[in-house]
Structure 1
C-alpha cells in the first residue's frame, strides 16, 4: 500500500458524498482504476447497510406500568405522611406547628403532582370539614344554647373557611417553594 492509498482512504467519505473538487475527483478515479484494494474499499463503503430489525425483548408497556405504579406508591406515601403531620399540627389541635408542616405539605404535593389545585384541596378541604363538623358537634352538645341552627351553620361556615384559608396560605407558600425548586432545577 503506497502513500496515495492512505490519501484515498482519508478522502473516501468526501468522495462518496461528491464533495471533492473536480480535479481531486479525477485524481481519485485514476487511482481507483489502478488500485484494486482502494476500489474494493470505495465500493464497500458506498453500499448502504440494511440493518436487520432489532428484536425488542422487553415489554415496554409493562415496564412503564411497573415504574408508574412504584412512583405512584411513593407519591401516596409522601403526600399521606406530610398530610398526616400537617393535620396533627393544625390550629384545631391548638398547635402552631402547621406553620412549618403546611409549607412542607404544599411543597411535597406540588413537587409530585405539579398542580396548585391539588395543593389547595389537600390543605383546605380536610381542615374545613374538621372545623365545620366540630362546630356542629358543639351545637349538638348544646354549647351554643343561645343560637339557632341557621346561625350556627353560618358561624360554622365562616369560621371553618377562615381557619382553612389560613392553612392554605402556608400550603401555598410551600407550593411556591416547590415551583421555585423545579425552576432552579430546570435552569441547571
Structure 2
C-alpha cells in the first residue's frame, strides 16, 4: 500500500508542512505529489508554515490567554457577587467567592494575593460609596462610618481566601500524586 488517494494526501499536506507528520506520511505525500499535479499545486499553493515552531513561545501564549480568561472571570464573578449581595441571592456568594479564589490561584499561583487585595479594595470602596449614596454614611461618626463596609469586605475576601486555600491544597495534593 504505497499509493494514497488525493483525499488522504490533502489531509496529510498540512501535517507535512507543519513538520509534525511521521516520516512514512512525509514519504507518501512526497511520492504522491511527484505523480499528481493537482496535489502538487495544492502543496505549492499552501502558505508556508514556519518549520521551527518555538514550543515555549506557544505555551507561553496559551498560558497568558488562560490567565487573561481567569482574570476576566474573577472580575465578572466579583461584580456578580456584589450585585447579589443586595438581593435574595446573596447566599450564592458562599459559592461564587471561593470559586473566584480557586480561579485566581489556578491562574496566578504565587501572585494570587493580588486578586485578594484587589477584591478587598474593590469591595470596600463599593460598599463605602453605596453607603454614602444611601445616606448611611454619618459625618459625625467618621470612624464608625468607615468601618461599616469592612464587615462585607472581610466576609467576601475571606470566602475568596478560602477558595485560594482549597486550590492550593488541591495543587499540593495533585503535585505529590504525580511524583
Q: What are the residue-to-residue correspondences of 1:7-156 with 2, within 5 Å?
A: 57-59=52-54, 62-64=57-59, 66-90=61-85, 92-93=86-87, 95-114=90-109, 115-139=111-135, 147=138, 149-151=139-141, 153-156=142-145
Q: How many residues align?
A: 125
Q: CA deviation at 1:107?
A: 1.3
Is 2:167 the counterpart of 1:172? no
Is 2:152 the counterpart of 1:163? yes
Structure showing greater Rg: 1
Is the contact between residue 102 and residue 164 of structure 2 (CA under 8 Å) also seen in structure 1? Answer: yes
Gaps of 5+ in 2: 1-50
Q: CA deviation at 1:173?
A: 1.2
C-alpha spacing 1:158/1:72, structure 2 compared with 1 (3 Å):
same
Instruction: Give, in whole Å, the separation in 1 of the partners of 2:140 and 2:77.
Output: 35
CA RMSD of aligned residues (A): 2.6
Is the contact between residue 127 and residue 163 of structure 1 (CA under 8 Å) also seen in structure 2? Answer: yes
Q: CA deviation at 1:122?
A: 3.9
Q: Deviations over 1:36-75 (max 9, x none)?
A: xxxxxxxxxxxxxxxxxxxx72356753553344223322
C-alpha spacing 1:136/1:88, structure 2 compared with 1 (3 Å):
closer
Q: CA deviation at 1:83?
A: 2.5
Instruction: Give, in whole Å, the separation in 1 of the partners of 2:132 and 2:91.
Output: 24
Q: Deviations over 1:108-151 (max 9, x none)?
A: 11111123522422432222111100121233xxx67xx5x242
Is the contact between residue 71 and residue 104 of structure 2 (CA under 8 Å) also seen in structure 1? Answer: no
Gaps of 5+ in 1: 1-55
Is the contact between residue 86 and residue 105 of structure 1 (CA under 8 Å) also seen in structure 2? Answer: no
Q: CA deviation at 1:103?
A: 1.1
Q: CA deviation at 1:104?
A: 1.1
Instruction: Give, in whole Å, the separation in 2 of the partners of 1:65 and 1:104.
Output: 24
